Amino acid sequence: MNDSVGDAPEQPATDLTRRSRARTTPRTKAPRPARAARPARRPSKPASTGKPVRSVIILSMVAGLVATVAIPAYAAWQPETEAVTLQQMAADDAQSLVVASDASAVQLERSSYSATTPEEIAKKKAVEAAAERARARAKSSVSLSSIDLTMTAPGSGEVRWPLSGFTRGRGLGDSGYHQGVDLLTGCGQPIFAAAGGVVRTSQESYGGYGVAITIDHVVGGQRVSTLYGHMTYGSRVVQAGESVSAGQLIGLVGSTGSSTACHVHFEVRVNGSLVDPYAWLEINAS
């Protein structure tokens, strides 16, 4: 199976529903050549092909065409001229039937919603997504009372390392688009403010950064902004507008947002421009 089949449901929805409902037994592997539909012309011998299900479907569809030409769902593909024979219709239908049933089968497998209107489906998806977020949150959230707020970063300088221990991961610009450095360590490890300043952002959901904090500083007369991403849900201990000192605990390492492992994504901007955050720390932190 390939996705392009499922992603191309360009036919009217009513058409697909009608067809998928009609099919009750698994389809045989090879699509039958158009000729095989000929017995449809003689309704008195429907079983002669050995494929009673298909014949019945085709027969009922042909019958439907003859009886109710005005059904809108058929209007899209019904031949324009009346000169077209039933046999041709049946042949056309036999071919399109295979495609249609494939497409609808994939669709139904992919999302087993009982809802039928786009609004209902969107609503159900939103509810499920919210539940999924809540589950993820409950799994990795922490209680603030369990965090020792007096912890501070090692060192005594104006600038500190945001973690007390880590493995250096992807850096600025490494393997494509990456605006910071990844500092890998265990989830739940304390994250420290890299310098004194004022918290600008403190959010549980900050785009791909997940739970994140940004802090504005003045370091060596320059405007510096630092960002700490992928923190643990519920672990932020500072809010926007709050002043922090160098090395103050601000929250815990997590893996929220666009992250696949516990780490801090750390960014530094100097006078509004991104700099290599690791180099900046090496030069300034002590």
Which residues here bind Zn ion, judged by CB under 5 A?
Answer: 182, 265
CB of 276 to Zn ion, least distance (A): 13
Give least dist CB 281 to Zn ion, A: 15
Residue with Cβ nearer Zn ion (15 or 182):
182
Q: Can you tell me the distance from the alpha carbon of 108 to that of 159, in angstroms, rounded to the nearest whole number?
A: 56
Instruction: For the CB of residue 272, give the shortest distance to Zn ion in the complex, in Å.
Output: 20
Residue 196 or 229 with smaller CB distance to Zn ion: 229
Cβ nearer to Zn ion, comparing 68 with 260:
260
Q: Which residue is nearest to Zn ion (CB)?
A: 265
Q: Give me the least distance between CB of 284 and Zn ion, in Å please.
A: 20
**Cα 213 to Cα 48, 64, 248, 251, 273, distances in angstroms:** 73, 64, 13, 9, 18
* CB closer to Zn ion out of 190 and 277: 277
Q: Given the complex with Zn ion, which of 52 and 165 has the nearer CB atom? A: 165
CB of 179 to Zn ion, least distance (A): 8
Least distance (Å) between residue 274 CB and Zn ion: 13
Cβ closer to Zn ion: 69 or 261?
261
